[in-house]
Amino acid sequence: KLSKMEDVAERRKPSPHFSSMEDVRMLHDDILPVFNYYQNLEWERRRQERMFHLAIEKKELAEKQNSKWETIKNQWDKWLYEDEEYTIVKPETPYDLVVEGTTLGHCVGGYIDKVVNRKTNIMFIRRLQDPTKPLFTVEILSNGVIEQIHGRYNSNIDDDKVVEEEPNLIKFVMSWAKEKKLDLHTINKVR
């Protein structure tokens, strides 16, 4: 004879024939957590596999971009310039655009493909005493038009606060543009 607990357990055990909705509910309640556990394991395995393949693709793309970057970055030497306070420097790697955009809080990090595919060019304005610290970013079209110049959070070189903090910056940009025969008419544009 079954004990009272065994009897209750036996009655709670669903019939393979599902004689009642209670049988279906009990089976659902028992099986669903197990099913979800294994489904989550499978989703995680697939996600990790996708991430692994994506990482390989990004690494290959970065290597390809680095290779292209090396062939085009020397073309920017024609725009290098400095005075006693500021300097124009070129990005040495695609990652320099990411650092620039992250540091200054603007979107130049997303321009890597445009630069690699020669749709635009990016140069940096730095203080001569600190040429590695981002100050302003310049987009130059291949026809010599300065498309935009932006600092922190897309500030412009003629913003009141910028003029107060960098009183000689506009003069520097004007001298640079004149010396390198660059067109300056759209510098405050944000794309």
pLDDT at site 79? 97
CA distance 141 to 147: 6
pLDDT at site 62? 65
8 A C-beta contact, residue 89 and residue 95: no
CA distance 72 to 59: 20
CA distance 17 to 19: 6
pLDDT digits (tens, 9 = 90+) for 132-188: 999 999 999 999 999 999 999 999 999 999 999 999 999 999 999 999 999 987 666
For 7, the 3-state DSSP assignment is: helix
Dihedral sign for Cα atoms in the order 133, 161, 164, 189 = positive
For 60, the 3-state DSSP assignment is: helix
For 146, the 3-state DSSP assignment is: strand
pLDDT at site 71? 85
pLDDT at site 22? 80
CA distance 159 to 171: 14
Dihedral sign for Cα atoms in the order 75, 130, 125, 97 = positive
The closest of 56, 60, 67, 137 to 97, measured between CA atoms, is: 137
Mutual angle of helices 94-104 and 21-72, in 10-degree steps: 110
- What are the backbone angles phi and psi of residue 86, rounded to the nearest 5°? -125, 165
Q: What is the 3-state secondary structure (H, E, C) of 94-133?
A: HHHHHHHHHHHCCHHHHHHHHHHCCCCEEEEEEECCECCC
pLDDT at site 122? 96
